[in-house]
Amino acid sequence: MKSLRPSVASEQGFASTITLRENLLSLVEAVVDALEGHLRQRLGEQRPKPLGLATGRTMVPIYAALVARVQRWPADELEDLRQGWCSFNLDEYVGLGAADEQSFSAYMARNLGEPLQLSPQQLHLPDGEATDPQQQACRYADQLQSFGGVGVQLLGLGSNGHVGFNEPPCGPDASCRVVSLSESTRQQNAAAFGADPSKVPLKALTLGLREILEADEIHLIVTGKAKAEILKELLNSPCTDQLPASWLRPHPRVALWVDQAALNG
Ligand code: GLP
């Protein structure tokens, strides 16, 4: 394992740490070690802040390993974890709801809610079926605010540098809103829609960079050689609206987790 010293990480422009692991499996375990520690810490807090969760292929092995890990906890601690669970997801497709298997709501139920026996009310997501999506975006942001904002935020990286669905160009003040998905993002996410990009919804609801940057702690996870190009750009680029993830750089507690394939292609 290689965990770059904070000083080295900051030379790369990131305020916190960059952790590199040889392969996906060991990276996933390292991320889950950190998450497990955070979840244990939360158990002792009076009013823990919600977890900020992401979807996408990157997160599938993370959630699987996290579920396996916490299922080994003593029964009383696992029960406390279940009872106290509160998470807010980043985004949802406009027009899709829990009954659509491609929705992020269904993804969260499959990957986390059902295996951990959480109630759907504990896993907050924007309502993709709301009749007024923009109003829904404002409500979702208000609801998150009423819970105190995000504590620990997990993020994946889009191939065009998006986080959540904050497509480029996007500045750090963008708040929760309805966005149009780019052609490249619809292509990137087509696998879940029978490999047909035209079936991927045109719009989505997403937390903005504003809400993401308000999280106490951010973990950006980048794996696989398909992300090598955008990761390289991210490590070498200044903060720019053209690469929304670059706005994470100055956050005081951002951890970047990468595997060798993402770093070297
Ligand atoms: C998706 C989602 C993000 C996700 C990112 C990376 O479109 N909106 O939440 O983190 O893009 O996706 P993947 O992990 O499938 O590469």
Residue 169: asked if its preceding bond is cis (omega within 30°), the reply is yes
The whole-angstrom distance between residue 251's C-alpha and the CA centroid of its chain comes to 16
The size of the chain, in residues, is: 265
Helix axes 59-70, 24-43, angle to 10 degrees: 50
The residue whose C-alpha atom lies closest to atom 1 belonging to ligand 1 is 56
Asked if residue 54 has its Cβ within 6 Å of ligand 1, the reply is yes
Low-confidence ranges of the chain (pLDDT < 70): 1-15
Measured distance CA(78)–CA(241) in Å, rounded:
41
Measured distance CA(161)–CA(157) in Å, rounded:
6
Catalytic annotation on 251?
Answer: no
Identify whether the C-beta of residue 165 lies closer than 8 Å to the C-beta of residue 247: no
Measured distance CA(185)–CA(192) in Å, rounded:
12
Residues sharing a CB contact under 8 Å with residue 33, sequence separation 6 or more, in sequence order = none
210 φ/ψ angles, rounded to the nearest 5 degrees: -60, -50
Nearest to 210 by CA among 253, 157, 163, 154: 163
Residue 61 corresponds to which amino acid?
A: P
Best residue among 104, 154, 162, 170 to mutate for probing ligand 1's pocket (most ligand atoms within 8 Å of CB) is: 162
Asked if residue 172 has its Cβ within 6 Å of ligand 1, the reply is no
> What is the reported pTM?
0.94
Identify the pLDDT of residue 150.
98
Ligand 1 atom nearest to CA at 55: 9
